[in-house]
Structure 1
Amino acid sequence: MMRIYLRLRKFTRKMDKVYELRNCEIKVRLDEGLIRVYSDKGLWCYLDNNIRLRTLELAKFIKIDYQKEVNKTLMISESSLMVEIWAHVYSDYFGLLIKRHLKIKWVQNLLQKGIERAEIIDCGEKKFDSNRWVWDFLSHFEQIISLFLPKNISNKNLKN
């Protein structure tokens, strides 16, 4: 059985948190109806192995913590959270990878804009997130999607 080691500390605001899962620090912000996860080195480290299992663990943990902090159930399925996290993390990853190897200035500028959008993963309930339906739909294919996700992305040293 796998264990999750957690160290939780709050920073700056009441709902801004750092979860330490498997020796990786994952930054999350909880707002009513919305969670924000940051695609940074800590999240990438966490997703290096067992991507599907670890993303599910993270989604479950976020939902439990949200319930505790906001005193409401987050109305986003775990699968929908997983797929949205992957979309951002791996868009960020592929954008940085291409930017590193393709040295055309206008392409790099365009990629940078996409990378900046991918770095902040805003997952909102339907009333706050107009594209929640996309992630809900794609969540039906999360098992298949997970087969195509690259492993060990933090080893590429694309994030500081």
Structure 2
Amino acid sequence: MEKQYNLFNHEIQVHFEPRLVRVFSDAALWAFLENDTGTRFEILVKTIKADYLTHYGAALKISNDSLIVEILVHVYCDYIGLRFNRVVKIKYIQNLVNKLLERAEVVDCGERSVDSNRWVWDLLARYKTAFIKILPKNLNRRKLKS
């Protein structure tokens, strides 16, 4: 099931499967997260989990903080990769980073039974506040791509 959420005038795209949600890390998500990041992450995650419950009749077995940290770290890695490619002008390395960036464009967030690294996000969830603080304040992807 595909959903698009209009949150604060940003179209956030999410794909649902049993025990798994995929959040698209695109310009709309980045723009959505530019202001009041912590609160907006909470709104996004609660919205996703409420729709999951409605659609599947069962709760998504991922804590809010774990889901937030997984999305946040992927967004941050995407940001770093784009910044890296602006600085490093070696075509071979840029191509490699671009392949990694393509993989980071969709954040697969699954329950433990389908996501072998859920334990990592669960472990890092306790540091959610710190991760939010280090997220760059200006994530404007369009500026990074130009």
TM-score, shorter chain, exceeding 0.5: yes
| Matched AA of 2:35 | N
| Matched AA of 2:71 | I
TM-score when normalising by structure 2: 0.95
Contact 2:25–2:75 (8 Å) recurs in 1: yes
| Higher share in helix | 2
Contact 1:35–1:122 (8 Å) recurs in 2: yes
Unaligned stretches of 5+ in structure 2? none
Displacement of 1:57 in angstroms is: 1.1
**1-structure distance, mates of 2:142, 2:22:** 24
Counterpart pick for 2:2 among 2, 16, 19: 16
Unaligned stretches of 5+ in structure 1? 1-14
Q: CA RMSD in A?
A: 1.4
Could you say which residue in structure 1 is the equivalent of 2:81? 95
Of structures 1 and 2, the one with the larger relative CO (CA 8 A, separation 6+) is 2
Displacement of 1:156 in angstroms is: 5.2
Between the aligned residues of both structures, percent identity stands at 48
Counterpart pick for 2:105 among 101, 110, 119: 119
Contact 2:72–2:131 (8 Å) recurs in 1: no
Could you say which residue in structure 2 is the equivalent of 1:130? 116
Post-superposition CA distance 1:93-115 (Å, at most 9, x none):
11011112211111101111210
Post-superposition CA distance 1:98-134 (Å, at most 9, x none):
1122111111011112101111100000000000000
**2-structure distance, mates of 1:62, 1:145:** 21
Could you say which residue in structure 2 is the equivalent of 1:150? 136
Could you say which residue in structure 1 is the equivalent of 2:38? 52
**2-structure distance, mates of 1:159, 1:73:** 37
* SS in structure 1 of the partner of residue 144 of structure 2: coil
Change (3 A) 1:103 1:159: closer
**1-structure distance, mates of 2:6, 2:13:** 9
- Moved beyond 3 Å, runs of 4+: none
**1-structure distance, mates of 2:15, 2:32:** 17
Displacement of 1:70 in angstroms is: 1.2
**1-structure distance, mates of 2:28, 2:141:** 12
TM-score when normalising by structure 1: 0.87
